[in-house]
Structure 1
Amino acid sequence: MKITAIKLGRISVPLRVPFKTALRTVDSVEDIIVELHTDTGAIGYGEAPPTGVITGETHGSIIGAFKDHINKTLLGRDVDDLENLLQDLNKCIVGNHNAKAAADMAIYDLYGKLYNVPVYKLLGGSRKTLETDITISVNDPQEMARDTLNAVQRGYTVLKTKVGVNPALDVERLKAVRQAAGKDIKIRIDANQAWRPKEAVKLLNQMEALSLDIELVEQPVAAHDISGLKYVTERSPIPVLADESVFSPQDAMTILQHQAADMINIKLMKCGGIYNALKITTAAELMGVECMIGCMLEAKVSVNAAVHLGCARQVISAVDLDGPVLCKEDPVVGGAVFDEKKITVSDAPGLGISGIKNIVYID
């Protein structure tokens, strides 16, 4: 099975409600779709969102990475040459993790289709279902309480609550969310780098003193501030999850060696795809640190690839793959089934996707 053509396209998927964090506000998913075509007729699918404030990637940089570097690296290559193919993909351009992730998952999709095996079984096959949290966007406390009630009514038992916009309000936000959720719902919080180290410790201690029962706090300080992250981890009564601080297996090793966080969040768009994500899970497993599998604000193609990884590796103990359920519609044919909090992986070959509706192809 040889890669004979690479097609890029755009999809636009409106969100149910605006997605708001300390870094950005988004009304719709506007992603680049990648199709790897082969001489057997099989097609491998990938997806890359523009996440400039997090990864530095834009629509233009994703398209440029393919046209100037990735296409010439992959065209004419044999899918069965998996290790060399993925090594060359990672070497062909510095950075551009979103573009690489889209190509990576499309290659794995083809590899599974070549051997008629779903990707999650190729990677380990630990389980068939996952339970995701759902994001509560950062707003005023009353609106966050309403969104919390809606999520609980839809059956969610784990909430990922965004904080960090006007940190002075964050404790009030969490009080409102906890009151609306009740005592049996798990609440995770994500500051998206918004706090300073001492400020983070103060806020987290306030939340603990108020018995808000926070399960974990994600990326409380700036991504580059590893010493600040370690400072918070050592003093926080709430476990700390490193997210934007971990873009690569090397970043993960730095966090692990310095004991700068209690957990690591793996996102395919940060690390460049499944190939590098597997290295992070292995490093974390060896160091006795659990992982979360997360996503950016993405549609189902790329989140589906993360589902396969999450279903393969036991070291992944927390799931934040709510991108598709935040969307009003699903343009993807096949793949994992997202039934609110319950995600069921597909047993179809590869990543299980057979088509994508409403693509606007790019010349």
Structure 2
Amino acid sequence: MLLSRSIFLQLIFPFILASGILTFILSMETVYRLIYLIVERGVSVFSVGLLLLYRLPQFLSVTLPLAIVIASVVLMVRLSTDNEIYAMNAIGISYWQIGRPFFLFGIVTTVLALSITLWLQPAGYAAFEEEKLRVLKTQTTKTIQPLVLNYDFPGKVLHVQDKAENEDLSGVFITDRELTTDSMVTLADRGRINVREGERDLVLALENGLIHLQGSAENYRTIAFEKFHYIFRPPQIVPEKKDGHIWGVPTSTLWGNSSQSSQMELFLRLTTPWACVAFAVAMVPLGLVNPRRGRSGAFLRGLILVVFYYILWMGAKEMTQNLNYQPHVLWLPPLLIWFFGLYSLYKNNLNRSNIFDLLSSAAKTKPSAKHQLSVS
């Protein structure tokens, strides 16, 4: 009991440290873009901090399994190089008993990862989209300046003659960035930027204007209007449409939706966290090292295991997404890693080497067997 508690507690610090470092590395691109918003667009530090906070669950869902691998390798290498593993074996402690706290730690992190993927991640992504829309509306209004070309609207160029203190625009000119035969140029006396919260989009509301439709000289047309709306829609959070993001859909909504995309996203949220316990079990035998051979072998085996897992994961995802397999195949990667870990533990418990050492020793013994036959 005391041994299991000691091993469990020793896993906490390297796990937290690895999680922090990996999350920081993974978030660097997002941090760079958010710093750009502060410097170039004048977005408040508070809004940028909220955007980064809302993205953290997505980063943690990726880094937690990797942190388990690093923490397990670091601890197993230390126990091996200090000969504590061999001392435990000498007093009758089996590898099953040594692996028990790793398994319990993997279960705890799996529960934590499940809470992230099932609840925090979709809620964070939905909040991220809402905050991004609010910042977009605020900054779009701020960046529209009289007599200055504005390129903030996707595919459009905006120019205004004047801007009132209440954000009303006058002398509005808007056209496509690239003029073609299907392009149109719009001029309006007045305009205003509005946000539709329900539809989650920006609306450029124009009044009293004229639309010029491009074409040949004989087909050139103009259309006068009293009110006209340009709608600029960022990616929507919908479960079935191809142009939307399904990451922000609540898990309860996915559970009741039988579409292929919804079921795939649901199983991804359910299966990915189980890589934590699978890695924790597998790295107990793979983290063993011979003190005289150095520590690099354990880290290399951990890297190979992670690469192998993600190859399986991408293959299962491809089978579900493009080959119309049932989403249940997404359970295969964590289950295969888990069974591999149990098999390696079983081999080590019988005082045999893990599978990597078995393969290398088999390759070395074949020439010696042939030599014995030739001598006889």
Q: TM-score range by the shorter chain?
A: under 0.3
The structure with more strand, counted as a fraction of residues: 1
Q: Structure 1 length normalisation: TM-score? A: 0.27
Task: Name which structure has the greater RCO, CA cutoff 8 Å, separation 6+.
Answer: 1
Larger helix fraction of residues: 2
